Protein backbone atom coordinates (compact mmCIF):
# COMPACT_ATOMS: atom_id res chain seq x y z
CA UNK A 1 0.00 0.00 0.00
CA UNK A 2 2.75 2.41 -0.83
CA UNK A 3 2.59 5.51 -2.93
CA UNK A 4 5.72 5.95 -4.95
CA UNK A 5 7.12 8.61 -7.29
CA UNK A 6 9.98 7.76 -9.62
CA UNK A 7 11.81 10.49 -11.51
CA UNK A 8 8.63 12.51 -11.38
CA UNK A 9 8.77 15.60 -13.61
CA UNK A 10 6.05 17.98 -14.67
CA UNK A 11 6.79 20.66 -17.22
CA UNK A 12 4.16 23.09 -18.46
CA UNK A 13 4.45 23.26 -22.24
CA UNK A 14 4.47 26.60 -23.97
CA UNK A 15 6.81 29.12 -25.55
CA UNK A 16 8.58 29.39 -22.21
CA UNK A 17 8.57 25.97 -20.60
CA UNK A 18 7.91 26.07 -16.90
CA UNK A 19 9.15 23.31 -14.66
CA UNK A 20 6.67 22.68 -11.83
CA UNK A 21 8.23 19.49 -10.45
CA UNK A 22 11.66 18.13 -11.34
CA UNK A 23 12.91 14.58 -10.95
CA UNK A 24 11.24 13.73 -7.66
CA UNK A 25 11.73 10.30 -6.10
CA UNK A 26 9.58 9.52 -3.10
CA UNK A 27 8.28 6.37 -1.50
CA UNK A 28 5.65 6.82 1.13
CA UNK A 29 4.59 3.89 3.31
CA UNK A 30 1.24 3.33 5.05
CA UNK A 31 0.96 5.10 8.37
CA UNK A 32 3.33 7.86 7.39
CA UNK A 33 2.29 11.44 8.00
CA UNK A 34 4.22 13.52 5.49
CA UNK A 35 4.32 17.30 5.59
CA UNK A 36 5.43 18.95 2.35
CA UNK A 37 6.70 22.46 2.98
CA UNK A 38 8.60 25.08 1.08
CA UNK A 39 8.27 28.61 -0.20
CA UNK A 40 5.30 29.70 -2.26
CA UNK A 41 5.64 28.61 -5.89
CA UNK A 42 8.10 25.83 -5.09
CA UNK A 43 5.86 23.13 -6.62
CA UNK A 44 4.21 21.66 -3.52
CA UNK A 45 0.68 21.71 -4.95
CA UNK A 46 1.90 20.46 -8.30
CA UNK A 47 3.57 17.48 -6.63
CA UNK A 48 0.42 16.70 -4.65
CA UNK A 49 -1.78 16.79 -7.78
CA UNK A 50 0.63 14.40 -9.48
CA UNK A 51 0.67 12.03 -6.50
CA UNK A 52 -3.15 12.13 -6.41
CA UNK A 53 -3.50 11.32 -10.16
CA UNK A 54 -5.17 14.66 -10.75
CA UNK A 55 -2.37 15.65 -13.11
CA UNK A 56 -0.27 13.64 -15.53
CA UNK A 57 3.53 13.78 -15.29
CA UNK A 58 5.64 14.87 -18.25
CA UNK A 59 8.24 12.25 -17.28
CA UNK A 60 8.62 9.65 -14.56
CA UNK A 61 5.80 7.72 -13.00
CA UNK A 62 3.57 7.22 -9.99
CA UNK A 63 3.02 3.77 -8.54
CA UNK A 64 -0.20 3.37 -6.60
CA UNK A 65 -0.23 0.29 -4.37
CA UNK A 66 2.87 -0.74 -6.28
CA UNK A 67 1.14 -0.62 -9.66
CA UNK A 68 2.15 1.87 -12.37
CA UNK A 69 -0.52 4.40 -13.29
CA UNK A 70 0.93 5.90 -16.47
CA UNK A 71 -1.13 3.75 -18.82
CA UNK A 72 -4.45 4.52 -17.12
CA UNK A 73 -7.06 6.39 -19.13
CA UNK A 74 -8.78 9.38 -17.59
CA UNK A 75 -11.84 7.41 -16.44
CA UNK A 76 -9.65 4.71 -14.92
CA UNK A 77 -7.69 7.35 -12.99
CA UNK A 78 -11.00 8.81 -11.83
CA UNK A 79 -12.12 5.40 -10.54
CA UNK A 80 -8.82 4.91 -8.77
CA UNK A 81 -9.10 8.34 -7.13
CA UNK A 82 -12.64 7.55 -6.03
CA UNK A 83 -11.68 4.28 -4.34
CA UNK A 84 -8.17 4.96 -3.02
CA UNK A 85 -7.67 8.71 -2.52
CA UNK A 86 -9.19 11.42 -0.41
CA UNK A 87 -8.55 15.09 -1.12
CA UNK A 88 -8.76 18.16 1.07
CA UNK A 89 -8.03 21.57 -0.41
CA UNK A 90 -7.59 24.99 1.11
CA UNK A 91 -11.07 25.85 -0.13
CA UNK A 92 -13.68 23.41 1.15
CA UNK A 93 -15.45 22.80 -2.21
CA UNK A 94 -18.61 21.55 -0.54
CA UNK A 95 -21.70 21.46 -2.77
CA UNK A 96 -23.74 24.43 -1.54
CA UNK A 97 -27.19 22.89 -2.10
CA UNK A 98 -26.51 19.80 -0.02
CA UNK A 99 -26.28 19.30 3.73
CA UNK A 100 -23.03 18.34 5.44
CA UNK A 101 -24.25 14.76 5.64
CA UNK A 102 -25.16 14.63 1.95
CA UNK A 103 -21.79 16.11 1.00
CA UNK A 104 -20.07 13.36 2.94
CA UNK A 105 -22.28 10.72 1.32
CA UNK A 106 -21.47 12.00 -2.18
CA UNK A 107 -18.32 9.88 -2.84
CA UNK A 108 -19.99 6.82 -1.30
CA UNK A 109 -23.01 7.18 -3.57
CA UNK A 110 -20.70 7.52 -6.55
CA UNK A 111 -18.71 4.42 -5.56
CA UNK A 112 -21.83 2.48 -4.69
CA UNK A 113 -20.06 0.00 -2.42
CA UNK A 114 -22.38 0.64 0.51
CA UNK A 115 -26.15 0.41 0.73
CA UNK A 116 -27.81 3.83 1.18
CA UNK A 117 -28.54 3.28 4.89
CA UNK A 118 -25.04 2.01 5.58
CA UNK A 119 -23.57 4.99 3.69
CA UNK A 120 -25.68 7.42 5.69
CA UNK A 121 -24.65 5.75 8.94
CA UNK A 122 -20.99 5.89 7.95
CA UNK A 123 -21.27 9.58 6.98
CA UNK A 124 -22.87 10.33 10.34
CA UNK A 125 -20.15 8.42 12.16
CA UNK A 126 -17.43 10.29 10.26
CA UNK A 127 -18.97 13.66 11.16
CA UNK A 128 -19.24 12.56 14.79
CA UNK A 129 -15.61 11.41 14.89
CA UNK A 130 -14.69 14.91 13.74
CA UNK A 131 -16.87 16.47 16.47
CA UNK A 132 -19.44 17.96 14.08
CA UNK A 133 -22.11 15.28 14.34
CA UNK A 134 -24.60 17.90 15.44
CA UNK A 135 -24.04 19.90 12.23
CA UNK A 136 -24.94 17.03 9.89
CA UNK A 137 -28.17 18.58 8.63
CA UNK A 138 -26.75 22.03 7.97
CA UNK A 139 -25.77 23.36 4.61
CA UNK A 140 -22.22 24.70 4.06
CA UNK A 141 -23.27 28.35 4.30
CA UNK A 142 -24.63 27.67 7.80
CA UNK A 143 -21.26 26.35 9.03
CA UNK A 144 -18.11 28.10 10.25
CA UNK A 145 -14.81 27.84 8.34
CA UNK A 146 -13.42 25.21 10.71
CA UNK A 147 -16.63 23.18 10.52
CA UNK A 148 -16.65 23.27 6.74
CA UNK A 149 -13.08 22.03 6.59
CA UNK A 150 -14.00 19.17 8.91
CA UNK A 151 -16.90 18.27 6.64
CA UNK A 152 -14.46 18.34 3.72
CA UNK A 153 -12.14 15.99 5.63
CA UNK A 154 -15.07 13.69 6.41
CA UNK A 155 -15.95 13.67 2.70
CA UNK A 156 -12.32 12.87 1.84
CA UNK A 157 -12.54 9.89 4.21
CA UNK A 158 -15.91 8.71 2.92
CA UNK A 159 -14.67 5.77 0.87
CA UNK A 160 -12.05 4.83 3.48
CA UNK A 161 -9.12 5.90 1.26
CA UNK A 162 -5.62 4.55 1.69
CA UNK A 163 -4.16 7.92 0.78
CA UNK A 164 -5.31 11.23 2.17
CA UNK A 165 -3.87 14.21 0.31
CA UNK A 166 -4.35 17.72 1.65
CA UNK A 167 -3.21 20.97 0.06
CA UNK A 168 -2.89 23.77 2.62
CA UNK A 169 -6.01 22.54 4.44
CA UNK A 170 -5.42 24.98 7.29
CA UNK A 171 -4.66 27.97 5.11
CA UNK A 172 -8.01 29.58 5.83
CA UNK A 173 -8.25 28.54 9.48
CA UNK A 174 -7.20 30.20 12.73
CA UNK A 175 -4.34 28.60 14.65
CA UNK A 176 -6.54 26.67 17.06
CA UNK A 177 -8.56 25.12 14.23
CA UNK A 178 -5.38 24.52 12.24
CA UNK A 179 -3.80 22.64 15.14
CA UNK A 180 -6.98 20.60 15.56
CA UNK A 181 -6.99 19.62 11.88
CA UNK A 182 -3.36 18.50 12.12
CA UNK A 183 -4.32 16.51 15.16
CA UNK A 184 -6.96 14.76 13.10
CA UNK A 185 -4.40 13.95 10.39
CA UNK A 186 -1.99 12.55 12.94
CA UNK A 187 -4.70 10.25 14.27
CA UNK A 188 -5.64 9.13 10.76
CA UNK A 189 -2.00 8.28 10.00
CA UNK A 190 -1.74 6.33 13.25
CA UNK A 191 -4.75 4.30 12.07
CA UNK A 192 -2.65 3.18 9.08
CA UNK A 193 -3.52 5.66 6.38
CA UNK A 194 -0.97 7.48 4.30
CA UNK A 195 -1.38 11.19 4.93
CA UNK A 196 0.37 13.82 2.85
CA UNK A 197 -0.20 17.45 3.79
CA UNK A 198 1.13 20.47 1.96
CA UNK A 199 1.69 23.41 4.27
CA UNK A 200 3.87 26.44 4.47
CA UNK A 201 3.46 26.58 8.25
CA UNK A 202 6.80 25.30 9.54
CA UNK A 203 5.45 24.91 13.06
CA UNK A 204 2.68 22.56 11.95
CA UNK A 205 5.07 20.75 9.60
CA UNK A 206 7.21 19.87 12.61
CA UNK A 207 4.33 17.81 14.06
CA UNK A 208 4.44 15.41 11.06
CA UNK A 209 6.35 12.13 11.09
CA UNK A 210 8.20 12.99 7.90
CA UNK A 211 9.04 16.34 6.42
CA UNK A 212 9.69 16.94 2.74
CA UNK A 213 10.99 20.36 1.75
CA UNK A 214 10.74 21.71 -1.79
CA UNK A 215 12.38 24.51 -3.67
CA UNK A 216 12.06 25.35 -7.38
CA UNK A 217 10.30 22.06 -8.10
CA UNK A 218 13.03 19.98 -6.46
CA UNK A 219 12.86 18.02 -3.22
CA UNK A 220 15.68 19.58 -1.23
CA UNK A 221 15.20 17.76 2.07
CA UNK A 222 13.40 14.60 3.18
CA UNK A 223 13.66 13.78 6.86
CA UNK A 224 11.85 11.52 9.28
CA UNK A 225 11.53 12.12 12.99
Partner 1 sequence: MPLTLAVALAHLLGRRRQTAVSMLGVALGVGFFIAISGMMNGFHEFFRGELIESNPHIVVTDEFRLPAEQPLHAQHADAAVEIRRVLPRDPVRGINHAAEMLEGLAAIPGVAAAPTLRGQVLLRRAGRDWSVAVLGIDPDREVQVTSLASDMIAGTIDALKATPDGIILGKTLADRMGVEVGDAVNGVSRSAQVARLRVVGIFKTGLEALDSGQAFVGLRKQQSLQDRPRIVNEIRIRLDDVSRSIEMAALIESRWSYKAAPWEETNARVLAVFTLQNVIIYSTVGAILIVAGFGIFNVISTVVLEKARDIAIMKSIGFSGASIARIFVIEGLIVGVLGSLVGFCVGFGIAEALRAVPAPGATDPNQTLLVSLPAWRYALAGGLATLSAVVAGWLPARRAARTNPLEIIRGAA
Ligand X SMILES: Nc1ncnc2c1ncn2[C@@H]1O[C@H](COP(=O)(O)OP(=O)(O)O)[C@@H](O)[C@H]1O
Restricted to residues 135-164, the positions that interact with partner 1 (CB under 8 A) are 155
Half-sphere exposure (Cβ direction) of 61: Cα atoms closer than 13 Å: 10
Does 106 participate in binding partner 1 (rule CB under 8 A)?
yes
d(CA 108, CA 111): 5
Q: What is the DSSP secondary structure assignment for residue 15, as one 8-state letter?
A: S
Give, to the nearest 10 degrees, the angle between helix 100-111 and helix 116-129: 130
Q: Which of partner 1, ligand X, Mg ion, none sits in contact with 43, Cβ below 5 to 8 A by type? A: ligand X
Does 90 participate in binding partner 1 (rule CB under 8 A)?
yes
d(CA 1, CA 29): 7
Report helix, strand or coil for 16: coil
Under 8 Å between Cβ of 21 and 217: yes
Contacts with Mg ion, residue ranges (CB under 5 A): 45
Pick 12 or 115: Cβ nearer Mg ion: 12
| Tally of residues, the chain | 225
Q: Select from 26, 34, 37, 42 the one that contacts ligand X (CB under 6 A).
A: 42
Under 8 Å between Cβ of 109 and 141: no
Q: What is the DSSP secondary structure assignment for residue 207, as one 8-state letter?
A: T
Q: Select from 6, 109, 138, 200 the one that contacts partner 1 (CB under 8 A).
A: 109
Pick 140 or 146: Cβ nearer partner 1: 140
Does 18 participate in binding ligand X (rule CB under 6 A)?
yes
- Which among 62-70, 95-103, 188-196, 217-225 is the span making contact with partner 1, rule CB under 8 A? 95-103
Q: Select from 8, 22, 37, 43 the one that contacts ligand X (CB under 6 A).
A: 43
Buried/exposed code over 95-111 (b: 16+ C-beta within 10 A; e: otherwise): eeeebbbbbbbbbbeee
CB of residue 142 vs Mg ion: minimum separation in angstroms? 29
d(CA 72, CA 195): 23
Does 111 participate in binding partner 1 (rule CB under 8 A)?
yes
CB of residue 61 vs ligand X: minimum separation in angstroms? 19
Under 8 Å between Cβ of 34 and 209: yes
Does 159 participate in binding ligand X (rule CB under 6 A)?
no
Interface mask toward partner 1 for 29-58; x: CB under 8 A: ----------------x---x--x-xx---
CB of residue 128 vs ligand X: minimum separation in angstroms? 33
Q: Which of partner 1, Mg ion, ligand X, none sits in contact with 12, Cβ below 5 to 8 A by type? A: ligand X
| Interacting residue ranges for ligand X, rule: CB under 6 A | 12, 18, 20, 38, 40-46
Amino acid sequence: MTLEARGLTRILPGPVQQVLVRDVDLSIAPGEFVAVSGPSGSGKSSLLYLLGLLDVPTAGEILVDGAPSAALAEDARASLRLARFGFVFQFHFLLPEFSALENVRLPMRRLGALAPEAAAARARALLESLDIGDQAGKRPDQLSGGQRQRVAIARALANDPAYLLADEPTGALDSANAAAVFGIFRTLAREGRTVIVVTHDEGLAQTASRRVRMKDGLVVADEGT
